[in-house]
Amino acid sequence: MHDRDKLYIDGAWVASTGTGTIDVINSTTEEVMGRVPEGTPDDVDKAVQAAKRAFGSWSQTSREERAKFLQRITEGLDARMGDIAAVIAQEVGMPINLSNMIQAGLPRMTFGSMQQLLDETTFEEQVGNSLIVREPVGVVGCITPWNYPLHQIAAKVAPALAAGCTVVLKPSEVAPINAFLLAEIIDEVGLPAGVFNLVTGVGPVVGEAIAAHPDVDMVSFTGSTRAGKRVSELAAQTVKRVALELGGKSANVILDDADLERAVTDGVGKCFLNSGQTCSALTRMLVPRSKLAQAEDIAARAAEGYTPGDPFDMNSRLGPLVSAAQRDRVRGFINKGVEEGAKLVTGGADAPEGLDTGFFVRPTVFSNVSNDMTIAQEEIFGPVLSIIPYDTEDEAVEIANDTVYGLAGGVWAGDADKAKDVARRLRTGQVEINGGGFNPMAPFGGYKQSGHGRELGKFGLEEFLEVKSLQL
């Protein structure tokens, strides 16, 4: 069991002011794998006051000093990668090999990249008779989701600390144990008291208390668009800075001259990563109408290769979803797709054979989807792909942009320049060309209702800096 009975506030492990606890469920066995405190607004206030006290001195440390702490945290993450990967494979359900590489590997990379970014960031520049200085924004509230739990924490906490900010973190109550591993590492490296604080709890209580707190200068939130709107409303009352990374319904545009076999096979993988529990998943595959039947065959073959099973079984390519609620929601979307007349190519709403325990969903592909169907407009967050036919390139761009979201996308073409031309027309924060790999140093974030602000790399660091002019 991974029970944690204390919060991390002001450099110490302390009991919550409340008595509630939250059960953490193993997504494969459906058993309780640990418990964490159900934090209160009073806990948030204590953490914010500690962060506010610590800000004065932490914000004045040299970049070398901050880089040294970030390096130590990176080394701590490195030493515990196996523990982190195993915990997240249990909490979220990602197969262990991928969990090692992504769920444990990316946070380490994000913390590790900060020293180089600190060196490259211009904190002072002369413009005419003004000295322009960049300073830390202040106390930052970080509210993070469960799908890539420690990666999303690192994408906020590492640059915030690098910038000289202090932090109050609320991890998702669905997958919080990995955050305690980070807090233990931070405690071991001796980060000054109050610079990093951890308060677990539920969004409507702890999340709202952070977003509304008058002494929080900025809130950085990753999660659903609905919850992001609520964070914005609360933050507006004290006019604090807000960074939001929200939902997506990303289009993968396969052009007429693309290598269809490669494009469709890769696209299915990009949709099903982490059992589809990825905000930037390429969930709408746009193919020329003349190639629809061929694309369906390739997609069915690819999807059926994603064997669902226990994340610790090396033959499993698709883990469970994170919770019963999530599984039921995804199955509801699959039923809706059938009801609205989409063609079910493979998969369906029934549990995968032989997997009655665990929050499993069959890898599912729909075809002949029209873009006004529910499964083409709403974020499903499960292993469900919608194949949408189009007749002209202009129509493909129109369909791709016909969504409230704008987080990611893909374009496949025989001619890479042609692919880039189409990519520039997509109203979205990231576009991969011919399956281009995820770059953890490139800016990540969305257009439209996918949010505002950017994470990762130098843009992620700049998010936590204020700009001041000294007129000389």
State the average pLDDT over residues 286-310: 98
CA distance 463 to 453: 7
Domain check: are 67 and 44 in the same one?
yes
Instruction: Indicate if 339 and 411 belong to the same structural domain.
Output: yes
Q: How confident is the prediction for the chain on average, in pLDDT?
A: 97
3-class SS of residue 30: coil
Question: Is the model's pLDDT at 330 over the cut of 90?
Answer: yes
- Domain with 417, as residue range(s), is 251-440
Which one of 142, 208, 279, 455 is the catalytic residue? 279
Q: What phi and psi values does residue 166 have, to the nearest 5 degrees?
A: -110, 160
What's residue 10's pLDDT? 98
Q: Are 206 and 416 in contact (CB under 8 A)?
A: no
6-18 pLDDT tens trace: 999 999 999 999 9
Q: Is residue 188 part of a domain?
A: yes
The answer to whether the beta carbons of residues 92 and 321 sit under 8 Å apart is: no
CA distance 378 to 388: 15
Are the CB atoms for 70 and 109 separated by under 8 Å? no
| Token pair recorded at residue 454 | 């950017």
In a domain, 87, yes or no: yes
Q: How far apart are CA 285 and CA 409, in angstroms?
A: 10
Cβ-based neighbours of 437, under 8 Å, separated by 6 or more: none
pLDDT value at residue 402:
98
Question: Scanning the structure block, which residue is given the tokens 């883990």?
Answer: 319
State whether 220 and 349 are in the same domain. Answer: no
Q: Which of 128, 125, 133 is nearest to 472 (CA)?
A: 128
Q: What pLDDT score was predicted for residue 79?
A: 98
Tell me, yes or no, whether 65 and 199 share the same domain.
Answer: yes
Cβ contact 441:113 at 8 Å: yes
**H or E element: which one contains 131?**
strand 130-136
Residues 6+ apart with CB under 8 A from 118: 63, 66, 67, 162, 461
Candidate list 38, 173, 208, 245, residue with the active-site label: 245
pLDDT at 232: 98
Q: Give pLDDT, residue 148.
A: 98
Asked if residue 59 lies in contact with residue 171, where contact means CB atoms within 8 angstroms, the answer is no
Q: What is the CATH number of the domain that holds 104?
A: 3.40.605.10
Q: For a pLDDT cut of 70, what percent of the chain falls above it?
A: 100
- Same domain for 235 and 119? yes
CA 8 vs CA 15, 103, 231: distances in Å: 9, 22, 23
Query: What tokens does 32 get?
Result: 């309780």
Residue with tokens 């830390």: 136
Whether 420 and 456 map to the same domain: the answer is no
Taking the C-alpha atoms of residue 150 and residue 239, their distance in angstroms, rounded to an integer, is 28
Residue 257's SS3 state is coil
Sheet-wide strand order for 241-245: 12-14, 7-9, 196-198, 166-170, 139-143, 218-222, 241-245, 451-452
Predicted local distance difference test score (pLDDT) of residue 218:
98
3-state secondary structure of 24: strand
Tokens describing residue 86: 């195993």
- Judged against a pLDDT cut of 90, whether residue 115 lies above it is answered with no
Residues 222 and 366 in one domain: no
Residue 105 reports pLDDT greater than 90:
yes
What is the Cα–Cα distance from 370 to 377, expressed in whole angstroms?
10
**Are residues 281 and 421 located together in one domain of the fold?**
yes
Q: Would residue 271 show up in a list of annotated catalytic residues for this protein?
A: no
Residue 1 domain flag:
no
Closest to 462 (Cα-Cα) out of 159, 116, 109, 195: 159
Instruction: Say whether both 157 and 294 belong to one domain.
Output: no
CA 347, CA 218: separation in Å to the nearest integer?
A: 43
Sequence-distant (6+) residues with CB within 8 A of 204 are none
Here the CATH number for the domain that contains residue 348 is 3.40.309.10
What is the structure's pLDDT at 355? 94
pTM over 0.85? The answer is yes
Specify the pairing of strand 284-288 against strand 384-390: parallel
**Beta-ladder partners of 244:** 221, 452
In a domain, 275, yes or no: yes
Backbone angles phi, psi at 429, to 5 degrees: -75, -25
279 is catalytic: yes
Angle (CA) 117 10 180, round 5°? 70
pLDDT of residue 1: 85
Q: Which of 135, 149, 238, 147 is nearest to 198 (CA)?
A: 149
Q: Is 19 exposed, middle or buried (0-12, 13-18, 19+ CB in 10 A)?
A: exposed
Angle at CA of residue 227, ends 225 and 231, nearest 5°? 110
Counted domains in the chain: 2
Task: Kindly report, residue by residue over 56-72, the tens digit of the pLDDT.
Answer: 999 999 999 999 999 99
Same domain? 11 vs 41: yes
Q: 139-176 burial by CB neighbour count: b if 16+ within 10 A, else e?
A: bbbbbbbbbbbbbbbbbbbbbbbbbbbbbbbbbbbbbb
Per-residue pLDDT for 406 more than 90?
yes
Residue 94 lies in a domain: yes
Same domain, 382 and 297: yes
* Claim to verify: residue 193 and residue 120 sit in the same structural domain: yes
Is 16 within the bounds of a domain?
yes
E strands, 137-182, where? 139-143, 166-170
pLDDT in tens, 187-206: 999 999 999 999 999 999 99
Task: Give the closest residue to 304 by CA, choosing from 385, 367, 363.
Answer: 363
Task: Quick: pLDDT tens for 314-328.
Answer: 999 999 999 999 999
- At 154-181, the pLDDT tens digits run 999 999 999 999 999 999 999 999 999 9
User: Is 2 inside any structural domain?
Assistant: no
Q: Is residue 261 part of a domain?
A: yes
Write the pLDDT tens digit of every residue in 358-386: 999 999 999 999 999 999 999 999 999 99
